[in-house]
């Protein structure tokens, strides 16, 4: 038997609905016989009547309602149809959910699922990675699972966490990634994973870019380089210690993210490594992001817009030569 990243997300939600009566799922097209634009809730409305609810195309109100329900003791999961549309709900997520515990001492346990990242032909409004925006604001946990196992256990953990969680699931991994079985226990959020050990260069990444980094590490192994790949798992909290310990071993750091280049997760990782681990670095730390343009539609342009294995390898080789 094998299970995909997408099926893991569905299974996690089925388990959550089964185990906890406070959980309900709220989003566009999640209910009925349809089960979501990507089928992440397929069959759940039938299995759990009244708890998997279609909403109008009202991202602000979807999250607002989830906040109100969470304050009243529920554990809502909001599915955004695409991460891109969560921009409509930014106010509720950042200014309402994100400030609520600080202001009132009452936490807001909502989970907002964001089908994130690029896939071929999806264009400017169905491809975005929003994690850097959410991580910038106080009061939110931002998860970016890169494996089937993490997709499953981190979603279960997200709902258990008393604070608002933005769960960035990568659409490119939905069908590409498979595991033999689902884990019974996960690594706690806030702990990064060493996806591949190495001693010459550290590549820090998260979500789909972990797999690009692993492909580059494999490729450069053929050239005699041992590259360590770190999967951040969550970008907030950010596991600085694991990054620094790796840089202490390798002396070189490249950080790769799929979101836009100005600021963001990769800049944060580099800033922390430079501030706290300057003495560990043998070369200036580098980062690689998508280009500073909207995300293009055509596959030829799209694959050149995002950081790809070829670009990562070029950047890695340059760093290794220094």
Q: Active-site positions?
A: 59, 126
The distance of Cα 200 from the centroid of its chain, to the nearest Å, equals: 27
Mark residues 256-275: x for contact with another protein by CB under 8 A, - for none: ------------x---x---
CA distance 172 to 118: 7
Scan for tokens 């953990």, then name that residue. 157
Structure tokens at 253: 């750091």
Nearest to 282 by CA among 201, 203, 194, 196: 201
Nearest to 25 by CA among 38, 9, 41, 37: 41
Using CB under 8 A, which of 6, 17, 67, 312 touches another protein?
67
Give the residue from 319, 242, 256 showing the smallest Cα distance to 285: 319
First to last CA, the chain: 46
Among the candidate windows 69-77, 250-258, 285-293, 296-304, which touches another protein by CB under 8 A?
69-77
Least distance in angstroms from the C-beta of 262 to another protein: 19
Q: How far apart are CA 154 and CA 152, in angstroms?
A: 6
Query: Is the CB of 107 or the CB of 261 nearer to another protein?
Result: 107
- Applying CB under 8 A, the site for another protein has a residue count of 53
Q: Is 68 in the site for another protein (CB under 8 A)?
A: yes
Choosing from 52, 66, 255, 256, the residue that interacts with another protein (CB under 8 A) is 66
Task: Map the footprint of another protein across residues 127-146, applying CB under 8 A.
Answer: 138-141
Query: Which residues contact another protein (rule: CB under 8 A)?
Result: 22, 24, 55-56, 58-74, 76, 91-92, 95-96, 98-107, 138-141, 161-163, 188-190, 236-238, 240-241, 268, 272
């Amino acid at each position: 038997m094998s299970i995909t990243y997408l099926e893991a997300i569905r299974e996690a939600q089925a388990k959550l609905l089964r185990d906890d009566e406070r959980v309900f799922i709220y989003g566009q097209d999640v209910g009925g016989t349809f089960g979501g634009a990507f089928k992440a809730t397929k069959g759940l409305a039938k299995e759990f009547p009244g708890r998997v609810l279609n909403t109008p195309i009202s991202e602000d109100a979807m999250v607002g309602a989830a906040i109100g329900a969470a304050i009243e003791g529920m554990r809502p999961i909001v599915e955004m149809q695409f991460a891109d549309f969560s921009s409509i709900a930014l106010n509720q997520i950042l200014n309402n959910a994100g400030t609520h515990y600080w202001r009132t001492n009452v936490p807001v346990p909502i989970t907002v699922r964001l089908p994130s990242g690029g896939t071929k032909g999806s264009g400017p409004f169905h491809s975005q990675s929003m994690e850097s925006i959410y991580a910038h604001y106080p009061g939110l946990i931002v998860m970016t699972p890169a494996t089937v196992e993490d997709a499953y256990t981190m979603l279960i953990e997200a709902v258990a966490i008393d604070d608002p969680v933005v769960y960035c699931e990568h659409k490119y991994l939905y069908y590409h990634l498979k595991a033999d079985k689902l884990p019974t226990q996960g690594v706690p959020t806030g702990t990064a994973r060493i996806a591949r050990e190495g001693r010459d260069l550290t590549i820090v990444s998260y979500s789909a870019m972990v797999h690009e980094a692993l492909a580059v590490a494999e490729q450069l192994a053929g050239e005699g380089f041992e590259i360590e790949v770190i999967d951040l798992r969550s970008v907030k909290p950010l596991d600085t210690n694991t990054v620094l310990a790796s840089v202490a071993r390798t002396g070189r750091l490249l950080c790769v993210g799929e979101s836009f280049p100005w600021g963001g997760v990769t800049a944060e990782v580099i800033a922390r490594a430079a501030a706290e681990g300057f003495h560990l670095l043998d070369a200036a730390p580098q980062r690689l992001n998508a280009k500073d343009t909207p995300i293009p539609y055509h596959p030829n342009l799209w694959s050149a817009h995002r950081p790809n294995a070829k670009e990562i390898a070029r950047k890695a080789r340059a760093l290794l030569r220094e």
